[in-house]
Amino acid sequence: MNTKELLKKVRKIEIKTRRLSDHIFGGEYHSTFKGRGMTFSEVRQYQIGDDVRAIDWNVTARYNEPFVKVFEEERELTMMLIVDISGSEFYGTSSTFKNEYLTEIAATLAFSANQNNDKVGLILFTDQVELYIPPKKGKPHILRIIRELIEFKPTNKKTDINAPLQFVSKILKNRAIVFLMSDFISEDYSNSLRIISSKHDITGIRVYDKSEITIPNLGLVHLMDNEANKMKLVYTGSKKIRKKYENYYRNRIQLFEENFKKAGAGIIECSTTDSYQKKLLRYFKNR
């Protein structure tokens, strides 16, 4: 992709996702994700109904009448977007590939955070962390994130969700909003998820193509394994083979749902034919 094509694609995604974040998600995002704490603002005279625990005893003693401390929500937050760019994300049977769908979701969330003056960071991963962009504010930074989502080429193709979770646990010291986006076809990551969810507000966004759920009976066909980068000859007429694949797939999804629920983390599940706008909005409102 040349520079002109890249800029055109970035602009197209910016126009679509920024409009959504400005008019739909901005307010919902603000009310859903609270500040990480309360910061001292001022003292004022005690009023009937004030919490006595807020009394500033030093000021009260000085003026011989009760004063209370006033606190404000510390609004600034950090959002970390963790996006799967392994081989399985470059798949789609409808008009949209999974990686393109993930890019739009990530861009919408990034612009929503930016609108609230929050920092946004990005991690792209396969079975290792491929790219880390530290959290920062501003539109130019958000556009850089979108460019990387569009054009970054990973060195590996396999998936290991443990890698980014362990990385985030080390680099993020203060509580952050974390969105982990993947198809979650990965080996067990429950322990890494449990550790990170104890420190941060994490949500798993599972993106899938409906054709992945089952293998149709097409006889003897060549199937491409994007993560192994190998073409395999598979006899899809075998009920045993189709059932084995379906069981494996459903087991991965069950693992995803159980892991996130046990960790007290949020869950969003989107097919590439779904409206992610509606899914995100419903999730924000339910929060």
- pLDDT tens digits along 21-30: 765 565 666 6
- pLDDT tens digits along 63-107: 889 988 876 555 578 999 999 999 888 776 767 889 999 999 999
User: φ, ψ for residue 134 (rounded to 5)?
Assistant: -60, 150
Residues 6+ apart with CB under 8 A from 255: 184, 188, 190
Nearest to 187 by CA among 100, 105, 86: 86
Nearest to 226 by CA among 84, 87, 86, 85: 87
Confidence of residue 44 (pLDDT cuts 50, 70, 90): confident
State how far the alpha carbon of 103 is from the alpha carbons of 64, 142, 211, 233, 282, in Å. 60, 12, 20, 32, 20
- pLDDT tens digits along 132-166: 999 999 999 999 999 999 999 999 989 999 999 99
For all residues of the chain together, what is the average pLDDT? 85
The DSSP secondary-structure symbol of 55 reads B
The DSSP secondary-structure symbol of 89 reads G
- Quote the CA–CA distance of 118 and 33 in Å, as a whole number: 11
User: SS3 of 213, please?
Assistant: coil
Query: Across-strand partners of 146?
Result: none
> What's the average model confidence in pLDDT over 207-230?
80
- Quote the CA–CA distance of 86 and 151 in Å, as a whole number: 14
Question: Which pLDDT score, from 0 to 100, does residue 72 have?
Answer: 53
- All structural domains of the chain, each given as residue ranges with its CATH number in brackets, are 3-32+76-286 (3.40.50.410), 38-73 (no CATH)
Question: Which pLDDT score, from 0 to 100, does residue 2 have?
Answer: 62
Asked whether the CA dihedral 254, 172, 102, 151 is positive or negative, the reply is negative
